[in-house]
A = this chain, B = another copy of it.
Amino acid sequence: MSKKILVLAGDGIGTEIVAEAVKVLNVLQAEGAIDVSMQDGLVGGAAYDAAGDPLPEETLEAARASDAVLLGAVGGPKWEPLHISKRPEKGLLGLRSGLGLFANLRPAILYPQLADASTLKPEVVSGLDIMIVRELTGDIYFGQPRGVETLPSGERRGFNTMVYTESEVERICRVAFDIAMKRGKKVCSVDKANVLECTEMWREVAIQTARDYPEIALSHMYVDNAAMQLVRAPKQFDVMVTGNIFGDILSDCAAMLTGSIGMLPSASLNEKGQGMYEPIHGSAPDIAGKGVANPLATILSVAMMLRYSLDAAPAAERIEAAVSKVLDQGLRTADIMSSGMRQVGTAEMGDAVVAEL
């Protein structure tokens, strides 16, 4: 049966990078390796401009009816003056909560061909392969109460609520443990259990849940130490699992260890296996429309989509192998360019991957 993909290009370089990922899907479709139907939709600033809403009801409905969503990127200075409720980011957050995409998988992988791009010494990061599992629909991102109130004194007071229930913690820990079982069987759960009761409970639930996974080596680390350890010795980690806000910070830190965030995909999954797939980088308004953006993170997001939501692991592997070959050939977009390599644009890079499929 044909699987449905909703394509949301979004803002900035979104259109360009998504076009290359769609090329890859079309080729796989044409040769019968996958059976998908694609539909376009609006999200983010583009949706606000067209419909006054960063997440039109139509888009959310279409996403719900799809097996997978392919997202480019959202946001840009144009929409920063808008009220927080209308900003492009709300489109993204609305998709996450509207689809219940609680499990955000963010690999931080160093491609050997791009080892030089890292700001860290080669011996510290060579072979780096961390999977960060970030809870995505709870925590201070969605917790109530929240807002800004005026005190009797006339002074304002802003507040947000970090909150987790046991079942929310348990289900994200299970995702992390299941993934770790297919990898190095090591999970580091990150919290601030020495200060925050919410995360003290997180740690207790992580320990309880791990009883079902006797083969998993579970460790715990405070979030401040985790940020240190990522810089000091990142290869000590296999899978890391943490809440929404700590995951936001640590996954970006981990990604930057590779020096090539233009290469890193992500997946956000719900309990039904539906998923949203997007590069971890942003909409890069400064280079939008110039045809120079790196489409590889988006193309690799398609590989994650095929693996996690479309039951097409062999096609996913072909995409990943093709990307690796293109790097071996010395092709580089501007963001990962280094001396002796050949600089190419967005479309040329997409074509090269297609040629290697």
A121 contacts which chain B residues (CB < 8 A)?
A: 119-121
* A241-264 interface bits toward B, Cβ cutoff 8 Å, 1 = contact, 0 = none: 000011011111101110101000
Q: A156 at interface (Cβ–Cβ under 8 A)?
A: yes
Q: Is the CB of B252 within 8 A of A89?
A: no
Q: A165 at interface (Cβ–Cβ under 8 A)?
A: yes
Q: Which of A134-170 contact B (CB under 8 A)?
A: 140-141, 143, 146-148, 151, 155-167
A246 contacts which chain B residues (CB < 8 A)?
A: 249
A: number of interface residues (CB 8 Å): 62
Q: A224 at interface (Cβ–Cβ under 8 A)?
A: yes
A194 contacts which chain B residues (CB < 8 A)?
A: 75, 84, 87, 89
Cα separation A253 to B252 with both chains bound (whole Å): 12
Q: Residue A227 contacts which of B193, B201, B253, B259 (CB distance < 8 angstroms)?
A: B253
Q: A50 at interface (Cβ–Cβ under 8 A)?
A: no
**Which residue of chain B is the closest to A147 with respect to CB atoms?**
B197
Q: Residue A164 contacts which of B146, B158, B163, B231 (CB distance < 8 angstroms)?
A: B158
- Given A119-B121, A227-B252, A256-B232, A197 and B84 contact (CB-CB distance below 8 Å): yes
- Most chain B Cβ neighbours within 10 Å, of A159, A167, A261: A159
**Which residue of chain B is the closest to A144 with respect to CB atoms?**
B159
- Most chain B Cβ neighbours within 10 Å, of A84, A87, A160: A160
A162 contacts which chain B residues (CB < 8 A)?
A: 140, 159-162
Q: A195 at interface (Cβ–Cβ under 8 A)?
A: yes
Q: Is the CB of A197 within 8 A of B160?
A: yes
A165 contacts which chain B residues (CB < 8 A)?
A: 151, 155-158
Q: Is the CB of B249 within 8 A of A158?
A: no
- Given A119-B124, A155-B167, A158-B163, A197 and B249 contact (CB-CB distance below 8 Å): no
Q: A40 at interface (Cβ–Cβ under 8 A)?
A: no
Q: A23 at interface (Cβ–Cβ under 8 A)?
A: no
How often does this chain occur in the complex, in copies?
Answer: 2
Q: Is the CB of B120 within 8 A of A197?
A: no
Q: Which of A200-244 contact B (CB under 8 A)?
A: 200-202, 223-225, 227-228, 230-233
A283 to chain B, nearest CB (A): 13
Q: Is the CB of B148 within 8 A of A93?
A: no
Q: Residue A84 contacts which of B200, B202, B231 (CB distance < 8 angstroms)?
A: B200
Q: A325 at interface (Cβ–Cβ under 8 A)?
A: no
Known: A160-B199, A161-B162; 19 extra A-B contacts, CB below 8 A, are A84-B200, A119-B231, A120-B231, A146-B196, A147-B197, A148-B197, A148-B200, A157-B163, A158-B163, A158-B165, A158-B197, A158-B198, A160-B163, A192-B245, A192-B248, A224-B252, A231-B253, A249-B249, A253-B253
Q: Can you pick out 21 interface pairs between chain A and chain B where the beta carbons lie within 8 Å of each other?
A: A87-B194, A119-B124, A120-B121, A120-B231, A148-B198, A148-B200, A155-B167, A156-B165, A157-B165, A160-B162, A160-B199, A192-B245, A224-B252, A227-B256, A228-B252, A228-B253, A231-B231, A231-B256, A231-B257, A232-B259, A253-B253
